[in-house]
Structure 1
C-alpha cells in the first residue's frame, strides 16, 4: 500500500498538480538549505571578517568534489530507480538502492582518510594564501571527517524524491537547515568558535539527517528496502548508476573547477577581498537558483516513471510545463537582481566598500539571468530520460565549456570585471545549446506514437514504432 502511495501516483495524478506537489517541497527544502549557507556566511562575515569569508570560499571547491560524487550516485540512482518503479520492477529497484549505499560507504572512507593526508596541500593548490589558509583548513577538516553524513544525506535525498515522496525530502532539508542555523548561532556567536564553529554546526546537522533518513528506509515507510544481499556490489548496476549520474558529477565537478579558476583570477587581478566578495555573491546566487533546481527535481521522477511506463503523453506534458515555469522564474530572478542588488549585499556586510563593489558585480553577473531556466531544466530532463550524452554536454556547457575559459581569458583584458562578465555570456551560450539539444531530441519528447523500451541496468533507451 505504501509503495502505491509513493510511486504509482507519478503515473496517474494530473501533471500540473503532480509537478507542483513535487517541485514546491523541493523548492522550499532547497531554499531553506541555501539559507543556512547564507546565514553561515553572514555570521562569519560579521563575527570574523571578509578574510574568513575568503577562506570559506577557497575551501568550498573541496566540499563540492564530495558533493559531485554524491550527486553522481544519488541522481544516477534516482533516475534508474524511478524507471524501475515505473516498470514495476521492485526487486531490481532495491538492488540499485543497495549498491548505492555500498558506493556511499566507499566514498566516505576515502574522504575520511583524505582529511588527514591531502586536505592542506589541496587547499594550497586551490589558491589558499597564507592569510586565509588557516580559515579554510579549520572549516574543511571536520567536514572531511564526516564525509559519510554529507554523502549519505545528499545521495539519498534524490532517492526519496525518485519514489515520489517529495514532502519527506523537503522536511529533511528543512530540519537540516534549521538545525544548522541554530547551531551556528550557538557555536559562532555563543561560544565564539568562529569559522570552526560553522563547520561543527554543519557536521552535526548532517549527522542528525543521516540518522533520520536511515530510519525512514529501515522502518518500511519507503517503497525501497535495504537488505544485506542488495548491498553486495554488482558492477553492471554501479556502471548504469554512474553513467546516468555522470552529468550530475560533471556539473558539480565543473562547479568546483570553476570556483578554483575564479578564486585564482580574483587573487591575481584583485585581492583576497574580491574572493570574499565572490563568496557573498555566490551565496546570493544559490538562493536565487533554488526555485529552478526545485522545478528540475520535481520533473525528474515524473519523467523517469512515465518513461518506464511508456506513457509519453504525460512525459511530453511534464517537459513543456517545466520549461514554461522555468522561463518565468528565470525572468523574475533577472528583474529582482537588477532592481535590488544593494539590498542583498547589505544583508552580509555594512562595509561601504563591500556594498559598492558587490552591487556593481551583481548587476553584471545577473545581466543575462533570464536565460538560465532552460539549461537547468533541460539537464534534468535528459538525466531522467537516461540520455547520458546530452545530459553530460549540458552539465558541462555553462561552467566547463563556456564559463571557465571566459574566466581565464577576459580578466587579461578588463581585469576583475572580466570574471563577472564571464557569467552572463555563459548563460546566453548555454541557453542556445539547450535549445539545439531539445530540437535534436524532439521525437523522443514530443512524439506519443513511439514506444521506448528501457534496457535493464544499461541506461539506454531503444525506440520502436507502435
Structure 2
C-alpha cells in the first residue's frame, strides 16, 4: 500500500483487490511447489513414495497450522494497532510472536525427532512405505522452526499491507523450490528426502529476505528491541485470535488421518492406490483453496485495520466484497475442474486405474468448493473483529460433521463412498454459519451503535 490512509478512506472494493491479488498470486505460486513435489515424487520415485508422502501430510498440516495460528493472531493484532496508529505496540506484538513461535517449534522438533517412527506408524504407515515416509519426514521435523517462523514473517508483511513484497518473496521461494526439486530428485537422485530438503531451502530463502526487509526501515514493523518488553498477555491474545485457524488446519489433518486409517483398515487390494489417489487430491485441493485462504487473509487485514480505526461499516462492507469474489472464483474453478479431471490427473500419473480412482473421488469432493470458500470468509471476518468464539464454533462444527460422516459412510456403505462426506459437510456447515452470521449482525444492529460510530453510513464499495 502506498499510504495506509487508503485502508480507511479509499473504496473498499479497490483496497480489497489491491490487498488480495498479490496475496492470491503469491500463495498460488507458493502452492505450486507442493504440486511439483507430488509430481516429482509420483513420476520419478513411485506410487509407494507418494503413499509415504500422504502418510506424513497430516503432520505437515500440523506444522503449518501452528505457524498460521501465530501468523493469523499476530496479523490481526498488528493490523489493529497500525489502524489505531500504535506502531510501537505493533512492533512489540511482532517480536513477541516470533520469539514464542521459535520456542514452541524447537520444543515440537525435539518431541517429533524422538517419536518419529511411532508417529508414522500411528498415522497408518505400513512396512512397504515406512522408509519413504521417514525419509520425507525427518528433514522437515528437524527444520520445523524455519517453516513456522517463515509463515509468521509472511503474515507480518500482510498485516501492514506489504502484499507486493510478500508476493515477490513467495514467487522467489516457489521458483527455488521447484528448481531444487528437479536438482535433488531428478539429477542427484536423492529420493523423497530431496523433496523435503528443497522445501526447507526455499523457506530459508524466504525467511532471510523477509527479515532483511523488516530491518531496511521500509516497513512499519522494524523488529527493533529498543524498549522491548515480553508480555505473556500478548502471547495469550495472539493464540486466542489464532485458535480458529489452528483448529481449521488441524481439522484438515485429522480428516486426512481418518481417511488414511479407514483405507488401511478396509484391507482392500487397492488400498495403496486409494492412498495415492487421496494424496494427489489433497495436494491439488490444498493448492486450489489457497486463493480462498488469500481472500480470507486480505479480508482479515482490511477488516482488522478498519475495526482498529473505528470504521466498523467498512469492515462489514469488506466482508460483502470478499464473499462476492470468493463465489466467482469457486464457481469458475469448479466448472473448470469438472471439464479437465483427466488432463489434470495425467500430470501426476499415467496409470489408468489410479486416474479413474482419483477422478471418482474428486468428483464428489469438488462440488462443495464454493460453500467451503464462503465458510472460510465468514471465519476470517469473525477473527478480524475479535469474535473468536464464533469462528471457533464454525470450525469445530465442520470438524465434527466431517468426522461423523466419514465414519458413518465407511461403516454403512464402503470406503469408496467416503468422498461424499466432503460435499455434505461443506454445504451443511455453510448453511449453519450463514444463519449464525446473519443472526449475529442483526443482533449487533438491534443492541448496539457499533455500525454508526465514527463514520458515515454511506460506505463506498
- TM above 0.5: yes
SS in 2 for 1:441: helix
The 1-side partners of 2:24 and 2:129 are apart by 33
Asked if 1:356 corresponds to 2:349, the answer is no
Equivalent residues in 2 for 1:282-297 (5 A)?
A: 282-297=282-297
Out of 11, 14, 18, which is 2:15 matched to? Answer: 18
Q: Which deviations, in whole Å up to 9, do the C-alpha atoms of 1:107-147 show, x marking residues without a partner?
A: 23113313430222111111111111111110111111111
* Aligned counterpart, 2:330: 330
Deviation at 1:41, TM superposition (A): 0.4
| Structure 2 CA distance for partners of 1:114 and 1:321, relative to 1, 3 Å | same
* Aligned counterpart, 1:464: none
* Aligned counterpart, 1:106: 103
* Aligned counterpart, 1:45: 42
* Aligned counterpart, 2:164: 167
Deviation at 1:352, TM superposition (A): 0.7
Deviation at 1:295, TM superposition (A): 1.4
The 2-side partners of 1:389 and 1:68 are apart by 18
Q: Which deviations, in whole Å up to 9, do the C-alpha atoms of 1:87-118 show, x marking residues without a partner?
A: 11122111111110111220231133134302
Contact 1:114/1:144 (<8 A) preserved:
no
Q: Higher mean Cα deviation, 230-239 or 192-201?
A: 230-239
Deviation at 1:240, TM superposition (A): 0.7
Out of 75, 87, 92, which is 2:89 matched to? Answer: 92
Deviation at 1:161, TM superposition (A): 0.6
Contact 2:445/2:451 (<8 A) preserved:
no
Contact 2:24/2:295 (<8 A) preserved:
yes
| Structure 2 CA distance for partners of 1:252 and 1:453, relative to 1, 3 Å | farther
| Structure 2 CA distance for partners of 1:411 and 1:154, relative to 1, 3 Å | same
Contact 2:73/2:238 (<8 A) preserved:
yes
Q: Which deviations, in whole Å up to 9, do the C-alpha atoms of 1:331-350 show, x marking residues without a partner?
A: 22221222222121111111
The 2-side partners of 1:448 and 1:88 are apart by 29
The 1-side partners of 2:295 and 2:70 are apart by 20
Out of 237, 241, 253, which is 2:238 matched to? Answer: 241
Q: Which runs of 5+ in 1 are unaligned?
A: 455-466
Contact 2:444/2:450 (<8 A) preserved:
no
* Aligned counterpart, 1:409: 408
| Structure 2 CA distance for partners of 1:134 and 1:232, relative to 1, 3 Å | farther
Q: Which deviations, in whole Å up to 9, do the C-alpha atoms of 1:301-355 show, x marking residues without a partner?
A: 1100111111123222211111111122222222122222212111111111111
Deviation at 1:406, TM superposition (A): 1.4
The 2-side partners of 1:370 and 1:128 are apart by 33
Deviation at 1:233, TM superposition (A): 2.9
* Aligned counterpart, 2:457: none
The 2-side partners of 1:171 and 1:287 are apart by 18
Out of 178, 183, 205, which is 1:181 matched to? Answer: 178
* Aligned counterpart, 1:459: none
Equivalent residues in 2 for 1:200-211 (5 A)?
A: 200-211=197-208
Q: How many residues in Structure 1 have an aligned counterpart in Structure 2?
A: 450
SS in 1 for 2:367: coil
Contact 1:10/1:301 (<8 A) preserved:
no
SS in 2 for 1:226: coil
Asked if 1:380 corresponds to 2:380, the answer is yes
The 2-side partners of 1:230 and 1:241 are apart by 20
* Aligned counterpart, 1:310: 310
Q: Which runs of 5+ in 2 are unaligned?
A: 454-461
The 1-side partners of 2:73 and 2:322 are apart by 20
| Structure 2 CA distance for partners of 1:240 and 1:381, relative to 1, 3 Å | same
| Structure 2 CA distance for partners of 1:177 and 1:311, relative to 1, 3 Å | same
| Structure 2 CA distance for partners of 1:447 and 1:226, relative to 1, 3 Å | farther
Superposed structure 1 runs of 4+ greater than 4 Å apart: 229-232, 443-449
The 1-side partners of 2:443 and 2:228 are apart by 34
* Aligned counterpart, 2:369: 369
| Structure 2 CA distance for partners of 1:165 and 1:218, relative to 1, 3 Å | same
